[in-house]
Amino acid sequence: MIVELSGHSLLVFVGIPVLVVAVLALLVFASSIADGPRYRPGLSWWAPPVWINGPTATKPDPANLPELPALNSAPGATATAGTGIARTIGGASASW
């Protein structure tokens, strides 16, 4: 049996189902689209490095330090801030 589809029938039997599927797909993927690319272990990493609570931007430039007598007047006050090298390192490592 051959059924001839008119324009109206085509809209009802094809257009509406396609629209419904499109809306459902949009609802399903909306959150991931809004969040952007997600980290997937094993795949390449796309983002530039992020350093949270890193070194302060106003670290003193050794070339612009005013005068040395300040160091001599308060020897204990300038311990390792800003230029220190950690001596004994601890911690842990892991991989996944």
Partner 1 sequence: MPAGDAFTPDQLYDIEKAVQHAEEVSGLHFSVYVGGADEETRPFAIELLNELDDPDSSVLVYVDPAGRRLEIVTGSQAKRQLSDVAAGLAALTMQTSFAAGDLTGGLVTGVQQLGTHAHQPPLLHASDELHKL
Site string for partner 1, 20-59 (x = CB under 8 A): --------------xxxxxxxxx-xxxxxxxxxxxxx--x
Residue 72 in contact with residue 65, Cβ under 8 Å? no
Out of 6, 31, 64, 95, name the contact with partner 1 by CB under 8 A: 95
**Residue 84: both structure tokens together:** 């220190």
- Cβ-count burial of 14 within 10 angstroms (0-12 exposed, 13-18 middle, 19+ buried)? exposed
Residue closer to partner 1 (CB basis): 33 or 68: 33
Q: List residues binding partner 1 (CB under 8 A).
A: 34-42, 44-56, 59, 80-82, 84-96
